Structures are given as C-alpha cells and as structure tokens.
Amino acid sequence: MEAKYSGEHEASKPVSSRQKILHGWQANLVRFIAVGMSIFQLYTGIFQLTAMNQRVPHVTLGFILIFLVYPFRKKSPKDRLTWDGIIFASIILFIGFYVLFTWFKKVGQIGMEPPLYELIMGSILIVLLIDGTRRALGWAFPSVAVLVLIYARFGEIMPDIFAHKNYSFERIVSSMFITTDGIFGMLAGISSTYIFLFILFGALLREVGGGDFFIDLAYSLFGYVRGGPAKVAVVASSLFGMLSGSGTANVAGTGQITIPLMKKTGYRPYFAGAVETVASAGGLLMPPIMGSAVFIIMEILGVSYFTIIKAATLTAILYYLGLFLMIDIEAQKIGLKGLPKKELPKLKDVLKNGWHFLIPIIILIYFLGVAKVSVTRAAFWTNVSVPIVVILRSRRLPIKQLIRGLEKGALTAVPVVAILSLGGIVVGMVTLTGLGLMMSSLLIQLSHGHLFLLLFFTMIASIIMGMGVPPVAAYIVLAILVVPALIKMGVYPLAAHLFVFYFSVIAGITPPMAPDAFVAAGIADSPMMKTALTACRLAIVIFILPYIFVYNTALLLTGNFFQIAWVSLSAFFGVFALAIALQNYWGKKLPILVRLLLFISALSLIIPGYKHNLIGFIIFLLGMGYQSPQFLKNLIKGKIASKITLTEKKVKDESDKEID
C-alpha cells in the first residue's frame, strides 16, 4: 500500500479547538485513558453487559477525559493539566466506582429514601456534568438543563399552562442518580452502544488513510468536470461527514483542502465557503452512516436501522442534486472549467491503492441488511474490519495509526457523551414534570389545529435550538417537546422525527449564528454573513423537502412503486427548476418572466399532488422552451441532461488537449 493511504500524517493534532494540546507524560496519561475507553467499548460491542455496568464506566471515562483535556475557561492554560481538571476527574472517578458497585443493591431498595451522602454525591455529579458539558460545548445546552432542573423544583410559580406540583430536591436528585431513568438512562445507553462505536469507526478509518482515499476518490470522479473543485468538495464532504458526524468538524477537516482549491480555480471566496458549508452539513443526512441521531430515532420509535436509512435516501439525493446544479450553473456563469487531468489522481490508481477502504462500509451494510445482527454487533465487526483490511493489503500492522485512532475516537466521542448524559437529565425532568405533554398542547393551541403552522413553529424552534447546540442535542430536546405534537396532528412518526432532525442540522448554516458557515468563512477569508446567506440559498432544497415528506411520505420511499417513482421524478425536475431560478442563469441570464415561471414550476413540482405536478411540468417546459429551445428538443428526444453532459464533455476534451 502506498504511503499516501497509510495514515502517516501529523499525530497529535487535537480533534477540537477547545481541547488542550498536552505533551510528555500528561499526553500519555490522556492517551492511556482514551485508548482504554475505546477498548472497553469494543469489548462491550461483542460481550453484552447489563445496562448499568456498561453505561456507568462509559459516562465516567467520558467525563474524566473532558475534565483533563478541556480547560475550565478560555484563558486557562491549554498546554498542561490543571488542578481543577485533575480534582474534578478524580471526583467523577470516585462517584463512578460507587455507582458501579452499589447499583445492584439499590434495585431492591426502590421507593426507599436515599441516605444523605448519596444525595450529596448525586448533586455533585449533576453539577460536574453541567460543567463538563459547558467546557466541551459552551453554555447553550447546559443552560437548558439548568432551566429544566429549576422548572422541576419551582413549578408552582410558573404560568398556569406550565404550572405543576413542585418536586423536592431529594426527589429530583434521587431520580437522576443511581437509576436507569436519568444520567444513566436511555440516552447514555445509546451513547455507550451504537454511537461511540460508529465515531470510533470513523476515527480509525481516517487514521489508517481512509479519509485521504475518499477525498482522492472525489477528485478522480469530478475534478475534471466544469466547476470540478466545488463538486469535489460536495462529494468529499458528504463522505467525510458520514464518518465525522459533525458539520463543523467536516468543514474544518475537508474545507482546509477544498476551499483554497475552489478559490484558486475562480470561485469567489464567499461562494467557496458556502459550498463547503452546505456539503458538510449534508454529511449528517447522508446514508448509510448518518449522524448519531439515527440511532436515537431507532431507539425512540423502535424501528430498524434500514427503515430510517431507506427513508432518508431520496431526500439526501435531492439535497446534493440541488447543490450540484447550483454549482454547475455558477460555473457556467463565471466560465469555469475543470482541473487539468494531469493534476488529478486517476480513478484507476485511487481504487487500486485504496479499494480496501470500501470493505468496512460493505461489511456494515451486510451485517445490518443481510445478516440482520444488532447494530452494536455490526458496529463492532465494522471496527474490527479496519485493521484487518489494512493488514491484508499492506502486510503490516499499523500499530501507531490504530492507537492514534483509538485515542482520537474517544476524544471525538466525549462531547457526544456529554450531550447524551446531560440529555438524560433533561429527558428525566421533562418526563417527571409532564412538560412534554404541556408543550405539545400549547403548540397545537398556537397553531389553531393547522398542521402547516405547527410545522412552521417546529422549524423555527429546531433552527433556534440547533444554532446554540450540536444537532444531536437539539434533536433530543425537540423530540421530547415538539414531536409528540406533530404525531398528535397525524404526522407519520418517522417523518416527524426526521423533520425536527433535518432542521436541527440545517441550523448550522442558518444566520445569525451559523457556526458551520462561520468556520468556512474563516478558512475562505470571506464575509461571515454573506457566506452564511449564500449557504442558505444553495441549501434551499432542504428548507422545503421536510415539509413535503410530512404531507407525502412517498418521498421517504414508503408506498407503492408508482407513487415513489412519480414523486421522485417530479421532485427531480422541481429541484432542477428551483436551481435555475435561484441562480438566474441557464446559458444566459433569465428574463423576469422565465424566472417567475420556473419558480412557479418548482413549487408545483415539489408540492405533492398529481394535478400540481402536471401543471408544474407544463410550466417548466414553457419556461425552458423559451429560454433554450435546444434543451426542449433534447428533452423530447429523451436526452434530459444533454446540455450538462455535452458541456462537461467539451471541458473534458479541452483538458485532454492541454495534457497532450
């Protein structure tokens, strides 16, 4: 195996800008704990432990790492361990041991008043979880947890619609501590089984060279076509995003390569940043390895992994189709060509040197789809397959890369551990107080029974929540508070959950916060708000599609073949029309009338209903026939994408001439 896919690159770059960069024995200590945590999780992937025996070490180790590698405040030293971190990590370790060795005894004492020292330990643990999550992610999500705890304690002073009987301090702490309902509840269970192992898989694959392979694969496939670097960014970011599970991390990872290249080939800086932002956000929606929320949806709804992946497939395709079209039209407008083939890796060589990196993905799909094993077991074998395929390919064991992958897997996962552990408190308090039912009733009242208004309120809530916290955290809160209202109004449950999740993800590109877009703007050296607004324009499809699949679940690939085929075809042309209208260009600038026709056509084609869709097709043909008679002739002959294909062929021929 060639060195370029060996994973031999910088070793100790932190996985988050918030983390410390440690050296010497301190770095070795953190590495030892992180690798130990990953090995423990792999062990539990094949040898199933009882709930508490798995969740308690998971949460304990996760927060020990947080206190060691995340500083107390921004001005704290970032090159060494600090006393506050060591002390807090030690307290977490002590409490973890206590819970681990006493939980079984507590099972037989349900209903009994806990001793004072347990209430003190439980209170300390809650405070430490809030502080640890604040260190890793900022104040947004911890603030939600604090407000929910205050609400549980002082419910009587709330407005009538939210008022409830106060719960005592003792009741709140005891229900959160040594039980499977609070800190060590369902969310911690999901984190300690599915989610950690998939994050670890991404880290291992990247460290042994899989990340470089997927980027080179994207270059070899799309680097030479019109607007090639931007299309490479889309493909690379979607593949990388499946592994990273974070839009912001995706931008920071692939954006360092793709954004400068897009700028170099002629894209304006803000447009380059926007393309990377939208492509990176879409990685969380991309099957077969979507963001961590897919496993939470599985657990809540009790549906299979493949049910969710199937439902998300067409939406993801349409999302990236819309982005591809936007990029292609932008390249037409400013006269861009693809990169010369001599500057690109050859597909044949890329596959020859890195085809083995596709095997773990195939193994994952096999175990989940054919063998029908549990997700945890499938994730275990997928992780195990990474070193095996590297050994078979290179005839050597990449020990350094595997250790680094085990370390980075744990350090990448600890913010998720924090979200889901603290999320257990939020879920527990919402359940205890009945806030979820009250919020659902309030939303239905505010919408006056109109589903569209309820969806609009839900979208706003999802975006606002997602601006301040990672998509998984936003989804957890809204799945508890808002999704029940949607289901009460007759929304298909899976559609309701995906609606909330999609808007939680897209919050990362939506102003005024837009963390994904702002990271991209920093790399592109472009105006932050202009980059974010451009990203919203490029991602306009995802602002529309969730509404559509709520009203027409055929977009989620449910129903008969004809329904699915019809909605796929109409949505394809709707996205096509919308991209042209938004970019205001197809061969030349659009007349106002044509642009208006294409906007009307796009809405008619995307909105469900055969009559609407047929009208949309007719308007689309009228608009495109006026703008480009040749396009209409090719369409009638069955050459739907001929204009794009011919142009890209021309670019390819010109590139070949340059090489000759």
Residue 655 binned pLDDT confidence (cut-offs 50, 70, 90): very low
Residues in CB range of 650: below 8 A, 6 or more apart: none
User: Do the beta carbons of residue 511 and residue 469 sit within 8 Å?
Assistant: no
Is 289's pLDDT higher than 80? no
| Confidence (pLDDT) at 18 | 80
Q: Show the CA angle centred on residue 603, arms to residues 602 and 609, nearest 5°.
A: 110
Residue 445 binned pLDDT confidence (cut-offs 50, 70, 90): confident
For the four alpha carbons of 650, 599, 553 and 296, in that order, the dihedral sign comes to positive
Nearest to 573 by CA among 331, 321, 275: 321
User: Do the beta carbons of residue 314 and residue 555 sit within 8 Å?
Assistant: yes
Residues in CB range of 522: below 8 A, 6 or more apart: 528
For the chain, the farthest-separated pair of C-alpha atoms sits apart, in whole angstroms, at 84
Please report how the helices 269-282 and 528-538 are oriented relative to each other, as an axis angle in degrees rounded to 10: 50
- Read off the DSSP letter of residue 119: H
- Per-residue model confidence as pLDDT tens digits over 105-114: 887 666 678 8
How far, in Å, CA of 169 to CA of 429, rounded? 12
Region 592-605: mean pLDDT is 91
Concatenated DSSP letters for 398-439?
-HHHHHHHHHHHHHHHHHHHHHHHHHHHHHHHHHHHTHHHHH
| Confidence (pLDDT) at 645 | 43
Is 240's pLDDT higher than 80? no
- Per-residue model confidence as pLDDT tens digits over 20-68: 889 999 999 999 999 999 999 999 998 889 999 999 999 999 999 999 9
- Per-residue model confidence as pLDDT tens digits over 559-576: 888 888 898 899 899 999
How far, in Å, CA of 137 to CA of 16, rounded? 10
Is 458's pLDDT higher than 50? yes
How far, in Å, CA of 440 to CA of 271, rounded? 40
- Per-residue model confidence as pLDDT tens digits over 311-331: 989 998 898 888 888 888 888
Region 536-561: mean pLDDT is 89
Q: Is 362 left (phi over 0), alpha (psi -120 to 50) or beta?
A: alpha
Residues in CB range of 57: below 8 A, 6 or more apart: 40, 96, 100
| Confidence (pLDDT) at 656 | 45
Q: How many CB atoms lie within 10 A of CB 428?
A: 23
Is 653's pLDDT higher than 70? no
Nearest to 256 by CA among 402, 266, 240: 240
| Confidence (pLDDT) at 106 | 80
- Per-residue model confidence as pLDDT tens digits over 361-413: 888 878 876 777 887 888 899 999 999 998 888 878 788 899 999 999 999 88
Higher-pLDDT residue of 638 and 497 is 497
Whole-number CA gyration radius for the chain: 26
Nearest to 525 by CA among 343, 204, 147, 262: 262
How far, in Å, CA of 502 to CA of 495, rounded? 10
What CA dihedral angle connects 68, 70, 76 and 78, to 10 degrees?
Answer: 80
| Confidence (pLDDT) at 635 | 61
| Confidence (pLDDT) at 660 | 43
Cα 441 to chain centroid, rounded: 29
| Confidence (pLDDT) at 243 | 57
Q: Give start and end residues of each alpha helix (H) in 47-185.
A: 51-69, 83-107, 116-137, 140-153, 169-176
How far, in Å, CA of 270 to CA of 520, rounded? 9
Q: Which of 431-445, 532-546, 595-609, 624-638 has the lowest mean pLDDT?
A: 624-638
User: Do the beta carbons of residue 171 and residue 354 sit within 8 Å?
Assistant: no
User: Do the beta carbons of residue 424 and residue 183 sit within 8 Å?
Assistant: yes
Residue 122 binned pLDDT confidence (cut-offs 50, 70, 90): very high
- Read off the DSSP letter of residue 162: G
Residues in CB range of 518: below 8 A, 6 or more apart: 528, 531, 532
Structure tokens at 627: 């703008």
| Confidence (pLDDT) at 54 | 95
User: Do the beta carbons of residue 327 and residue 275 sit within 8 Å?
Assistant: yes
Is 649's pLDDT higher than 70? no
User: Do the beta carbons of residue 34 and residue 65 sit within 8 Å?
Assistant: yes
User: Do the beta carbons of residue 571 and residue 555 sit within 8 Å?
Assistant: yes
Distances in Å between the Cα of 185 and the Cα atoms of 47, 60, 125, 179, 188 are: 20, 14, 15, 7, 6
Higher-pLDDT residue of 296 and 352 is 352
Maximum average pLDDT range among 228-237, 285-294, 596-605: 596-605
Structure tokens at 469: 């916290």
Give SS3 for 623. Answer: helix
- Read off the DSSP letter of residue 115: P
How far, in Å, CA of 500 to CA of 471, rounded? 10
Q: Which residues of 358-389 are buried (b: 16+ CB within 10 A; e: fewer)?
A: ebbbebbbebbeeeeeebbbbbbbbbbbbbeb
Higher-pLDDT residue of 612 and 519 is 612
Nearest to 407 by CA among 86, 13, 30: 30
Residues in CB range of 94: below 8 A, 6 or more apart: none
| Confidence (pLDDT) at 430 | 83
Is 470's pLDDT higher than 80? no
Q: Which of 283-292, 489-498, 589-598 has the lowest mean pLDDT?
A: 283-292
Region 521-535: mean pLDDT is 87
Residue 1 binned pLDDT confidence (cut-offs 50, 70, 90): very low
| Confidence (pLDDT) at 9 | 47
Is 644's pLDDT higher than 50? no
Structure tokens at 216: 């080179």
Nearest to 204 by CA among 412, 406, 471: 406
Higher-pLDDT residue of 633 and 316 is 316
Region 594-617: mean pLDDT is 89
- The H-or-E segment that residue 200 falls in is helix 196-207
Share above pLDDT 90 across residues of the chain, in percent, rounded to a whole number: 30
- Per-residue model confidence as pLDDT tens digits over 135-168: 988 887 899 899 999 999 998 888 777 788 889 9
- Per-residue model confidence as pLDDT tens digits over 500-510: 999 988 888 88
How far, in Å, CA of 237 to CA of 239, rounded? 5
**To the nearest whole number, what is the mean pLDDT of the chain?**
84
Is 587's pLDDT higher than 60? yes
How far, in Å, CA of 571 to CA of 363, rounded? 32
What CA dihedral angle connects 578, 584, 585 and 586, to 10 degrees?
Answer: 40
Distances in Å between the Cα of 275 and the Cα atoms of 308, 378, 438 are: 26, 33, 40
How far, in Å, CA of 54 to CA of 41, rounded? 8
Residue 8 binned pLDDT confidence (cut-offs 50, 70, 90): low
Structure tokens at 551: 């009203």
User: Do the beta carbons of residue 183 and residue 96 sit within 8 Å?
Assistant: no
Distances in Å between the Cα of 291 and the Cα atoms of 250, 273, 280, 470 are: 12, 22, 12, 11
